[in-house]
Chains A and B, each alone.
Chain A
Amino acid sequence: MKNKVDSDLKNIILAKIMSYDDDYELFIGGGKPLNKDDLVKNIENETEVGKQIIKIQSDFMRDLVSGNIYKMMSDVL
């Protein structure tokens, strides 16, 4: 199915989000902050926001593992 999220990736990210403190709060563009439950529901339901969170998380993990982030940070004093 087009745009279907990899279930292993989704579960890894869900596990990460579930480890957040209960008062976790994030603004992703909109006016209302997303709390931990909001993030979990959006990911579980693969909403547009949920897919966006999954992409951001997986991009970060990929860039961390590839060394890209440390390479960029090494330029910073």
Chain B
Amino acid sequence: MILVTRPNHDGGTNYLYYWSGKVIEETKKKSVDVIDLAKSKANRKNFISYLIKQKPSIVWVNGHGNDDCVTGFNNDILISTSDKNLNLQVKVFVARSCRCGKLLGKFLVNNGVGAFIGYLDDYIIKTSRKYTTRPWLDPVAGLFLEPSNYIITLLTKGHSVDETNDKSKKMILMNLKKTLVKDADDKNDLGRWLWHDYKNQVALGRLEIKV
């Protein structure tokens, strides 16, 4: 079972909302149970309730974050390093959120979570203005969001956390390579932001875990 949060209260989360929707659709087709806390349902009350009662093996948070927390709709803090007594039994916690790899990730793996995949710094997405009203079709954003979508695809296929993180990061590099081959001067400056996301994506905890 996967517990997903995908708020859509601003431009950035709106992109994550639609792009994570693609993975949710594919995952449901594989007969994997998905608890989809979308839009305003992505709040702390729902998140903690499902986390404790349903004990999902994968948690996938999409939204804003900081060193010590991840947030949901209207930046409601879903979980933070202050949540010391939750008795988490999650196998893999994936956070497509800024910076939480620094403190929250370490906190989670020290408090019951098997492994964590997330980012040490801000997660950057370059987008194309042509697709503001159709973010799910934005090919530029896709260069950034498909590799992080791939994390969930790989985990649900039974890959270990280590393999998953490695393959996802290789996809970022492939996209970086495509960008530099197509535009040797990187006039669109995609390479810089892809390289940043590549360097900051981390896996913590028991990397041999498979779901």
Contacts and interface: CB of A to CB of B under 8 A. Distances in A.
A32 interface: yes
A63 interface: yes
Contacts of A56: 124, 192-193, 196
Interface string B91-124: 0000000110000000000000000000000111
Interface in B106-164: 122-129
A23 B193 contact: no
B192 A29 contact: no
Given A60-B196, A63-B195, A73-B176, A26 B11 contact: no
Interface string B153-182: 000000000000000001001101100100
Contacts of B193: 26, 56
Nearest to B14: A31
B209 to A, nearest CB: 24
Contact of B124 (A20, A21, A29, A69): A29
Contacts of B9: 31
B208 interface: no
B15 interface: yes
A30 B180 CA distance: 26
B193 to A, nearest CB: 7
A73 B173 contact: yes
B195 A26 contact: no
B10 interface: yes
B191 interface: yes
A59 interface: yes
B123 to A, nearest CB: 7
Interface of B: 9-13, 15, 64, 98-99, 122-129, 170, 173-174, 176-177, 180, 187-189, 191-193, 195-196, 198-199
